[in-house]
Amino acid sequence: MADYVVEFGKDTPPLPDGRLDAAAFHRNHVPIWAVLERFLAGQSGDVLEAGSGTGQHVIFFARQSPDIVWWPSDFNDNHLKSIAAWRAHAGLDNVRPPLSIDLSDPAWPSAMREAGGPRDLAAIFCANVIHIAPWRVAEGLFAGAGSGLRADGWLLLYGPFKRDGKHTALSNAVFDTSLRAQDAEWGVRDVGDLERLAAGAGLVLREIVEMPANNLILAFRRQRADDVSA
Ligand SMILES: C[S@@+](CC[C@H](N)C(=O)[O-])C[C@H]1O[C@@H](n2cnc3c(N)ncnc32)[C@H](O)[C@@H]1O
């Protein structure tokens, strides 16, 4: 079953402390971590999760990577509350309180730093956000990654994507139609369009990893100023 999520975190009622549970998390967190851990191997420092939703992913990832400091974020109040509740429930030293970040504002890294957030990110992970949001959210995500990531830092995107303007599966095409019917500004994004955003922000697509249920992980790397390789 595809792990598409629109009515997010409403699969079950919230727990009394505000924790939300997303069914997709239970299907996708293990395969996602199997890929992320390869990109984060040997890394320390700060990693931002953009659009954390319930907060379940960040808690699971933090348990697997005690040398990394994880910063969850979202801009929806119920989601921020859920993330804070999952954090309190887990009691992990390496998960910071959720940051309120609106990715559609390309200056979000400045706002993040002013709010006491990290100054220099080793990576940004963002799952299932940019197709359920207007295009300006993708624009803001990449623009911010260009200024928020350290040189050689990774922007890791998970979700359904088109390749060469075409859907990779019929189920993705159906999902895309349903998204656009709900909001004309939503829709499954094309890898080529994202590569163009990346180029404008000083990032390069280094790897595409095929994932279960016709999803992909796109791994973009911020170029160093002296890096001439593509
Ligand atoms: C479908 S949920 C995915 C949540 C989580 N990443 C996951 O995979 O379980 C999309 C998330 O994107 C967040 N989001 C949408 N627009 C956003 C924006 N402009 N800035 C930050 N987060 C946003 C929503 O609040 C929601 O938590």
Instruction: Provide the 8-state DSSP code for 96.
Output: P
User: Does an H or E element contain 190, and which?
Assistant: strand 189-190
At residue 4, the pLDDT reads 44
Closest residue to atom 14 of ligand 1, CA basis: 51
At residue 10, the pLDDT reads 66
Give the SS3 label for residue 88. Answer: helix
Give the gyration radius of the chain's Cα atoms. Answer: 16
Ordered by start, the domain boundaries in the chain are 23-222
At residue 224, the pLDDT reads 80
pLDDT tens digits, 57-114: 999 999 999 999 999 999 999 999 999 999 999 999 999 999 999 999 999 999 999 9
Cβ–ligand 1 distance for 8 under 6 Å, the answer: yes
Q: How far is the CA of 223 from the centre of ligand 1 (A)?
A: 26
- Residue 8 has phi, psi (to 5 degrees) of -80, 135
Percent of the chain with pLDDT over 70: 94
| Mean pLDDT for back-to-back runs of 10 residues, the chain (230 residues) | 48 87 96 98 94 98 97 96 98 98 97 95 98 98 97 97 97 98 97 98 98 98 74
Q: Which residues contact 184 (CB under 8 A, 6 or more apart)?
A: none
Closest residue to atom 10 of ligand 1, CA basis: 129
Is the CATH number of domain 23-222 3.40.50.970?
no
Cβ–ligand 1 distance for 101 under 6 Å, the answer: yes
At residue 86, the pLDDT reads 98
The pTM score is 0.95
